[in-house]
Amino acid sequence: MINSKIYNLLLPIKVQTIKKIHQNLSLSPGELNIIKASVPEMNVYCTFERTFTTLLGYSLQQIAAECGNDVVNIDKGKKTSGIDLRTLFGEGQLKSNMNTQTGTHKKDSIKKLLETTKKNQTVPFFATAFGESYEYMKNDILFIGGEMFWSKIGIDYNDLYDTIVYMVKETYDEVKSTIIPTL
């Protein structure tokens, strides 16, 4: 089911994605990477995917804070190293998927998370918004993902997922009907 509050929080993603596509289409080939410069449709699709997913990451934190129970989006206020969200069950990071962070970046993120939560005397967590539902402790960090995370903060995962899919399709339909025909 489409959740109107979540939909309204996602609406700026649609607007900014379409704006970024128009900006990239106005650039000269030398200002684009070779793939985007070679095929205008690739410019549109690559820009769509990159812009939408980047903005979605920030919006997920906002959705958690504005639609969830007792969640604070730390990125909206005073920036705290290694922390995106503060909840009743701890402080932690929210990523779109398990593979969002890899290698040394993931190690640095976990290090900052542990330093900050130790200082704040809170439980550290590392959450993923999508994918399988899980919850486990490893090295004193709560790992939680998918439906388990969203239900823990009082948001219906299926409504969230359906609303995001709806917004992706709505944005794509607008791009397909207004931008693609002009290429």
pLDDT one-digit tens code per residue, 142-175: 999 999 999 999 999 999 999 999 999 999 999 9
Is residue 118 located within the same domain as residue 135? yes
Coil, strand or helix: which one is 119?
helix
What was the pLDDT predicted at 102? 45
Q: Tell me the pTM.
A: 0.89
Average pLDDT of the segment spanning 107-113: 85
How confident is residue 182, by pLDDT bands cut at 50, 70 and 90?
confident
What was the pLDDT predicted at 101? 52
What was the pLDDT predicted at 105? 66
CB atoms within 10 A of CB 162: 15
Domain of 169? 1-68+157-183
Is residue 161 located within the same domain as residue 150? no
What was the pLDDT predicted at 103? 46
Is residue 133 located within the same domain as residue 165? no
What was the pLDDT predicted at 106? 72
| Residue 133, both tokens | 């539902």
Is residue 146 located within the same domain as residue 103? yes
Distance CA 12, CA 137 (A): 35
Does 132 score more than 70 pLDDT?
yes
Strands (E) in the chain, as ranges, are 72-73, 85-87, 90-95, 124-128, 134-138, 141-145
Does 78 score more than 70 pLDDT?
no
Closest CA to 96 of 67, 133, 66, 57: 57
Average pLDDT of the segment spanning 14-24: 96
Is residue 90 located within the same domain as residue 104? yes
Is residue 149 located within the same domain as residue 87? yes
Is residue 127 located within the same domain as residue 164? no
Is residue 62 located within the same domain as residue 86? no
Coil, strand or helix: which one is 124?
strand
What was the pLDDT predicted at 183? 82
| Residue 71, both tokens | 């969640």
Average pLDDT of the segment spanning 63-88: 88
Average pLDDT of the segment spanning 49-77: 92
Distance CA 132, CA 148 (A): 9
Please give the tally of structural domains in the chain.
2
